[in-house]
Amino acid sequence: MTTKHNILVLGSGMMTPTLIGQLLTYGDSKITVASNIIKDAEALVKLAPKFISAAYLDVKDIPALEKLIAGHDHVISFIPPWMHTPISEACLRVGMNMTTSSYISPDMIRMHPDVKAKGLIFLNECGLDPGIDIMGTMKILHEAQAAGFKIVSYESYCGGLPVAEQADNPLGYKFSWNPGAAIKASRNQAIFRWNGEKVVTNTPLKCAVVRDDFSVSMKLESYPNRDSLVFQERFGMQDCETFVRGTLRFTGFSDIISSFHDIGLTSDDPADKNVKTLRDLLESRLGGVHKHNGSLGPRS
């Protein structure tokens, strides 16, 4: 007998089609894709018109949000992480379980007692990273503990790497999620432990290390990602002298993106109103450049 579910997916971004494809494998489920870009949501309906419908939603419209949530069995929030809080608050009021693939925020942690008191499940960090990496870590940790081992060093790296024939740009990378968010993530402060020392850096890309121990055929590099020590506490691995969670890329990615950061190309500051070309932008960020033998150089 097929079990029906009525699932609300919030968001119509680059990762949503894959999510919907997976949800469609679980029986005769109905899926509503809600987005503030209705044409994107409607485009996803074409994947399976019999099972998918589209709805317009502005998450700041709380009454509309709660009404939409109440008409479903489960909510999957696939919108930018900073928007999860009003979604989770609405789910708490309505009494609805919710899933996200995002990191657990302080706001979500503060909600934990109320969510637990209502008997609800708010499942976060259930993507690839964070998600599968965490489950894999705990499996290995529990097996090691059961065998009487003590773990003193832990490194976990994850990266969405394109297949070799598609790694055809200088970055060796293809964006499978919001490019702006991906670039901004590489500017996040990183905290980790290395050989007993706590390391804090605001420039994690400058900590990139070429790795020849992962593959004999691929040239890879790794750099630290966010606050690893939060997970060291959660995992109960306080004995680790080295503890780092990081990102994996093909070599060259870190140097290029780090250079973009350094010259201000990834800054959130608005560009000058006179900026119309890339050269104008470089000039405004660097304080002036001029043409010299066909190349960019400082003004004399």
Catalytic option among 129, 227, 268, 269 = 129
CATH for the 137-260 domain, from 3.30.450.20, 3.30.565.10, 3.50.50.60, 3.30.360.10: 3.30.360.10
pLDDT digits (tens, 9 = 90+) for 75-128: 999 998 889 999 999 999 999 999 999 989 899 999 999 999 999 999 999 888
pLDDT digits (tens, 9 = 90+) for 163-192: 988 999 999 999 877 788 888 889 999 999
The answer to whether the CB of 281 falls within 8 A of the CB of 265 is yes
User: Over 50: is that where the pLDDT of 232 sits?
Assistant: yes
Query: Which of 78, 116, 5, 22 lies closest to 87 in space, CA to CA?
Result: 78
Q: What angle do CA 17, 167, 260 make, to 5 degrees?
A: 95
pLDDT, position 177: 76
pLDDT digits (tens, 9 = 90+) for 250-284: 999 999 999 999 988 888 888 778 888 888 888 87
Domain ranges across the chain: 6-123, 137-260, 269-298
Q: Span 185-201, mean pLDDT?
A: 94
pLDDT, position 263: 86
pLDDT, position 292: 38
User: Over 50: is that where the pLDDT of 208 sits?
Assistant: yes
pLDDT, position 296: 37
pLDDT band, residue 205 (cuts 50/70/90):
very high
pLDDT, position 32: 96
pLDDT, position 276: 86
pTM (predicted TM-score)? 0.78
pLDDT band, residue 2 (cuts 50/70/90):
low
Domain 6-123 sits in CATH 3.40.50.720? yes
Q: Which two tokens stand for residue 84?
A: 């999860």
Higher pLDDT, 290 or 214: 214
Q: How far apart are CA 55 and CA 44, in angstroms?
A: 11
pLDDT, position 36: 95
What secondary structure letter does DSSP report for 249?
A: E
Q: How far apart are CA 12 and CA 79, in angstroms?
A: 8
What secondary structure letter does DSSP report for 209?
A: E
Higher pLDDT, 269 or 198: 198
Q: How far apart are CA 161 and CA 243, in angstroms?
A: 23
Q: Give yes or no: 129 in active site.
A: yes
pLDDT, position 127: 86
Residue labelled with tokens 């996200």:
100
User: Phi and psi of 168, rounded to 5°?
Assistant: -110, 25
pLDDT, position 90: 97
pLDDT digits (tens, 9 = 90+) for 11-45: 998 889 999 999 998 878 899 999 999 999 999 99
